[in-house]
Amino acid sequence: MFVRVLILVSNANPLPNSPTPLSLIHLSPPIMRQQHSKPWRPFTANCCSAEDQTIFGNFSRCRPSRSDFSKEVAQLPSFRRLSFSDLSRSSSLRINDDLAQSFGSDLYDFQLSELRRVTQNFSVNFLLGEGGFGTVHKGYVDENLRQGLKAQAVAVKLLDIEGLQGHREWLAEVIFLGQLRHPHLVKLIGYCCEDDERLLVYEFMPRGSLENHLFKRLSISLPWSTRLKIAIGAAKGLAFLHGAEKPVIYRDLKTSNVLLDSDFTAKLSDFGLAKMGPEGSETHVTTRVMGTYGYAAPEYVSTGQLTTKCDIYSFGVVLLELLTGRRAVDKSRPKSEQNLIDWAKPYLSSTRRLRYVMDPRLSGQYSVKGAKEIAHLALQCISLSPKDRPRMPAIIETLESLQFLKDMAVTCGHWPASQKSSRNGVFAKAKNDGKVESIRKSSPAAAANQK
């Protein structure tokens, strides 16, 4: 596995007073803006939700500021030239020529009129979601649009460009995602650079996000086997990033960034916070602390030192969400239950106690041994010591070994058959003497104390 180093050839002279160019592209991809503070509104959700805003220290935005972005991106003379180009027609043509030479047939260069046509002029009926970066619309392309392009549904992101900075964000995303290809990463199909318009075209993920399936009330509960499949897919996506020739730290793994195709194959999306990993003798990358509260590794939050083990921590949180059906942080719950790790951790090391934090929507249709192994794996991933967290290949091996277990909790006595959920969130549990007592679903401690 490898990530190609992209070199944009340019004969242009450097701009006056511009940053000193570097010879290699150590590129942090574009940092999406929240200029309008517009919350993400998922529809069929091909993109991530931002209900859980990033808040670390005194920072209350999900993406670095424009000045921070300027420092991190634009390290090639040619990239610098393109990123500082005026947003004119001639500039757009030059950018398209350079990108076409660099990527060839790997990415398609679309015209704005073509993307208007495939989305019915960005119809509200085709709207998938919107946020501070702009809107995302569903579209349909066919082989007649471009030679070699197969007929398929796509997701078209229309970036809200404000001056040169938005243009540079778009350019960075094209360069970064144009280098990454893997079955468990959402594929960038092409881009559009026309006058002052900047768009990105991705493969469409018909099942939306993992977040919607786990936490939306109207969604059908994911079966145990599907949850395991999703976990394996997300793990393989991370393993590819970490195992690349130049390791990539994803930095923003969460259920809203895990998208699902028609057969529930998981693919990682939204690389807005991704960073190139440490090289040579370096052990970490020191960077401004950004991410999503509840998923970020504690050592990164406290020191700003970023490693691939920070992604492992986030993966452990996602495993807990798959087990429990609860969000990493849920302010609507009682204070003692708002943080998923704090709430669930005391119950993860005991098979007897684990059932009290399992997602009730599973109704006991899960493997007892599988749940125990995943709980143990999650505990390792969220260890406070990064050295104690497993690597992605070991995580994948463990998860794949659990796929065919048949010891369902409902048939093994680990999920009382008389357990029923009611509207007020109360479980009715039959006691030995025939009496019935109420145990609140939101309090596993209460259930455990009855034993």
C-alpha separations of 88 from 3, 13, 84 in Å: 32, 19, 11
Dist CA 6 CA 9 (whole Å): 10
* Residue 227 main-chain phi, psi, to 5 deg: -60, -40
Spot the catalytic one: 252, 270, 311, 359.
252
Dist CA 3 CA 277 (whole Å): 12
Contact 128, 136 (CB under 8 A): yes
Binding site for ATP, by residue number, is 157
Per-residue burial over 402-426, b = 16 or more CB atoms within 10 Å of its CB, e = otherwise: beebeebbbeeebbeeebeeeeeee
* Residue 130 main-chain phi, psi, to 5 deg: -155, 155
What is the pairing mode between strands 108-109 and 188-194? parallel
Binding site, by residue number, is 157
142 is catalytic: no
- C-alpha of 342 from chain center: 22
398: burial class by Cβ within 10 Å (0-12, 13-18, 19+)? middle
Contact 340, 381 (CB under 8 A): no
Dist CA 32 CA 306 (whole Å): 20
Catalytic residues: 252
